[in-house]
Amino acid sequence: MKAQIEKNSHVGKQPRILLIEDEAALSKVLSLVLTGGGFDVCVATTGAHGLRLAEEKNYDLILSDIDLPDMDGFEICRRSKQNPNLQAVPIILMSGRLREENEARALKLGAADYLSKPFRAAIVLTKISLHIREAKKGL
């Protein structure tokens, strides 16, 4: 597991975030927030594209919407946690649905955290930084 975390850390570089979001306006806002917070951001608009990118490149964290056109964020989380190359990458799922069972399900599947939309930029940046820092402690 250490090797997987090490593979995804970028000493001296901006932490890399994979954002999986199909809503263009929200994707743009989140990208600006994350870039402004010092992160390098790559965007995927479908779950399948996001999983391909996650497999091909090294990311420090995956931030994914739950409601996507091809698969939900729960499936992205499940597949990532079953993949030895992605198991150590923290995943934060987000949704506009304020249902407790969504948050509980996300955490049971191995998500590091859950965000409800609308969100505050400071909270997003703080949670992402916290989870990246925690993942790097395992090195």
The whole-number mean pLDDT for each consecutive block of 10 residues of the chain, a chain of 139 residues, reads: 40 87 96 97 97 95 96 96 95 86 92 92 96 85
Q: What is the pLDDT of residue 137?
A: 85
- Alpha-carbon distances, residue 50 vs 1, 11, 14, 40, 93 (angstroms): 22, 24, 20, 15, 13
For the domain spanning 2-137, the CATH number is 3.40.50.2300
Q: Report the alpha-carbon distance of residue 135 to residue 112 in Å, rounded.
A: 10
What CA–CA distance (Å, rounded) separates 88 from 127? 16
Give the residue from 74, 65, 73 showing the smallest Cα distance to 25: 65
pTM: 0.88
pLDDT tens string 37-54:
999 999 999 999 999 999
134: number of CA atoms within 13 Å, CB side?
Answer: 13
What is residue 90's predicted lDDT score, i.e. its pLDDT? Answer: 98
7 token code pair: 């593979």
